[in-house]
Amino acid sequence: MNQPRIRILVGVIALGLATTAFASPASVALSQAVKKGAHIFNTDSFGGHEPSFHGRHTTCSSCHIDGGRVMGRLPNGKRIPSLVNAAAIFPRYSPKLHKVITLETQIRHCVANGLMGHPPAYGSQTMADLVSYLGSLAHGQRVMIGGKPR
């Protein structure tokens, strides 16, 4: 009686192993970059020593709640947009800087000014991982370069 359930379970496990075994190197590398980016987003203070309003060192997730998937809040209480479409709206014009900026420029600005940390270098693996993570949040979003954050 339990034999059909065991066969189904074994089949599911075998399918999972086969799918993993045949995953392309590119998809594995991208998946790993997204995971690393999520980890960095949630745990790295980038050398900043400012305690967050939660009592821990400040990380991206201190303000960008639920990994950036929902509207966030700054320590002063000001609400900030989610990051669900961040990768789809850059490059965009920054009225504060009076120039067009990229997603990487925005990340560096947030780390330097929000976290009081040392921003990841352009072209670094850390930057690539963070951009990959933010890109994963924008999956399915319409590309609207210069559009508004949501």
Query: What are 74-97's pLDDT values in tens digits?
Result: 888 999 999 999 999 999 999 988
Q: What does the chain come to in residues?
A: 150
CA distance 130 to 37: 4
Q: Which parts of the chain are beta strand (E)?
A: 72-73, 79-80, 92-94, 99-101
pLDDT of the residue at 50: 61
**Which contacts qualify for 48-51: CB closer than 8 Å, 24 or more apart?**
48/111, 48/115, 48/116, 48/117, 48/118, 49/116, 50/115, 50/116
Average pLDDT over the chain reads 84
Report cis status (omega within 30 of 0) of the bond before 91.
yes
2-54 pLDDT, tens digit each: 554 444 444 444 445 444 556 788 889 999 999 999 999 999 999 876 655 55
Q: Could you give the percent of the chain with pLDDT greater than 70?
A: 80
- Which stretch of 18-22, 103-107, 108-112 has the lowest confidence by average pLDDT? 18-22
| DSSP letter (8 states) at residue 2 | -
pTM of the model: 0.79
pLDDT of the residue at 26: 87
CA distance 106 to 90: 9
Residue 130 has pLDDT above 50, yes or no: yes
